[in-house]
Each structure stands twice: as structure tokens, then as C-alpha cells.
Amino acid sequence: MQLTKEIDHLLSAQQLSHAYLFEGDNMFEMKSTAMYFAEQILCENETSCTTKVRNFNHPDFVYIQSDETTIKKHQIEELLRKMNQKPIESQYKVYIIEAFDKLTVQGENSILKFLEEPPPNTIALLLTTKKDSILPTIHSRCQLVHFKPASKEDYIEELKQSDISSPIAHTLSFITSDKEEALLLTEEQVFTQIRKSVTKLAELMVKDTQMAMIYLIDCTKMIQSRPLQQLFLNCLNAYFQDVLHAKIELDVIKAYPDMESEIIEISKHLSLNDISNYIQVITEANRKLAQNVGIMLVLEQMVVNGKR
């Protein structure tokens, strides 16, 4: 964790702000640092207290997260209820909101009011990988803590050290910068299946549109949830980025290094305009998916428009 020394200095100098906005591209590191900060604020290295924080059962600590696209209203209401109470075991109360950008406008406004008039000894740690999507008024009431991005090479090596194969690690580095999310994806075999299906579909999109349309049936059976559908499109986009780099002979890290010879061959049959169009229709497909258009229709339009 890159900021522990700075945190220790703030604590020793008693220079704590009422709110911190952690911003960066590595949610895993931000979560680890936020938990360390909370432990130091609440526990001062007292073992039993630290254990309670890590197990999320300390009475003066609340951790908010959601696996869905938004953080629910009831989660914020419960948070505000607890934080308006006096500390029970510690001098302070601390709350962490992971992926703060998932708050609805209503939820963000509720937190804004809370930040404008925070109860005494209450500290907020707000975490985001999408700083620009957060209200400027939230920014102005928080102390910004910026996490420097790790190099892609270092990130890939870190994933490989977690027993992830090199090809999978390369693809993941184009899909997510959050190590914890990357590890969760590889725990299920579906990511490997998606990756394999993406490379097959990409080749069919270029060489045989009719067969690509037929193959979509197999693809949609595998990606029935919205997160998997988004993952599929992101992997497909990374593939065509590799095709683009092969076409212009740009020596950069590849998302599909194990497919390099095939990708080079595909790039020889496409113009730069062709490749740009494929990337554009995949981006448009992602946009339509976010608008709740059906996945089969999204993919069919993508395949058809990709050939134009």
C-alpha cells in the first residue's frame, strides 16, 4: 500500500479530515488502504478491535458495497442512521463506501448533505475508479487521495503470481485494473470460455458473417447475465484493439498474446477503416446494452454493421 506512511503521519499529527475521496484505477489497493486507515482510526493497533473491523462487526464502522449496478437506497439510509449515533467503543465512527460512483443521484445527494454537516468524530472514506462521474460538490467537501496507476506490465506479473496463466492475465489487464475483480473472474471457468468464444466470433465476423450470426446462439447461451454480456463485449473490443496494433505494427502489450499469429493474419485482410469500424460497432453495442436492449439484437446488429 503506497499511502500507509502518509496515513500514519496524519494520525500521529491528529490532522484528520471528516471525508476522504480515494481515486484511482486499482480498487483492490484502495480497499486495502481504506481498511488500514479505518483500523488505525478506530483501534490504534488493538488486536481485538482490529479483528472486529476486518470482520465488519465493529459497532462504529460501516462498510457499504454492492455487486449490482447501483448502491441501494436502504443501504444509505441504514448508514446515515448508524453514523448519526454516538461512538460506542471508539473515539471515532468510520464508514467506507466502495465504488461511490454506484450511488444514485438521490443517494449522492443524501451523502452530500451528510458531508456538509457531519456529526462530530465521523470520518468518511469514499472509493471510486470513476472520479469524473461524482458531483463536484462532493469533491469540494472531501480531501482527495490519488492512487498512482500501476504499470500494465507490473499488473500482469502480479496476476501471474496469483497462479493466473500469462494469456489470461494479459486479457484481464485490458478488462479490469482491480486485482480482486480479476481474481473473482478467474475463479469461474466462464471467463476462459468467454475468451475462447470471443476469439472464434471475431474471426467469423471478419471471414464469414453468416456463420458468425449462427454462432451468436452459442454465445448468448453462455452470457445470460448483463455483467457477463458486458464482459464479452469488452473482451471482443480488446481483441480488435490487438488487430489494430498488428495492422500498424505497434509494439505494445497484447490482450491476446497467444493469438498473435492469427491476429496478424486477420489484420492483413482488413484496412484501418475496417478495423476502426469493428471497434466502433462494438462500442455502440456496449452503449445499447446499457440501454437494456436485448443481447441477441445487440450482437446481431454488431455483426451486420461490422461488415459495412
Half-sphere exposure of 97 (CA within 13 A, CB side): 25
Nearest-10 crossing angle of helices 179-187, 152-160: 40
Q: Which residues pair with 123 in a beta bridge?
A: 94
Q: Who contacts 196 (Cβ-Cβ below 8 Å, separation ≥6)?
A: none
pLDDT tens per residue across span 240-280: 999 999 999 999 999 999 999 999 999 999 999 999 999 99
Q: Is the distance from CB of 24 to CB of 147 less than 8 angstroms?
A: yes
Nearest-10 crossing angle of helices 209-222, 295-306: 150
pLDDT tens per residue across span 137-195: 998 999 988 887 778 898 899 999 999 999 999 999 998 877 878 888 888 788 999 99
Is the pLDDT at 212 greater than 80, yes or no? yes
Is the pLDDT at 119 greater than 70, yes or no? yes
Is the pLDDT at 5 greater than 70, yes or no? no
Among 121, 37, 125, CA closest to 83:
121
Chain CA centroid to CA 283, Å: 18
pLDDT band at 3 (very low <50, low <70, confident <90, very high): low
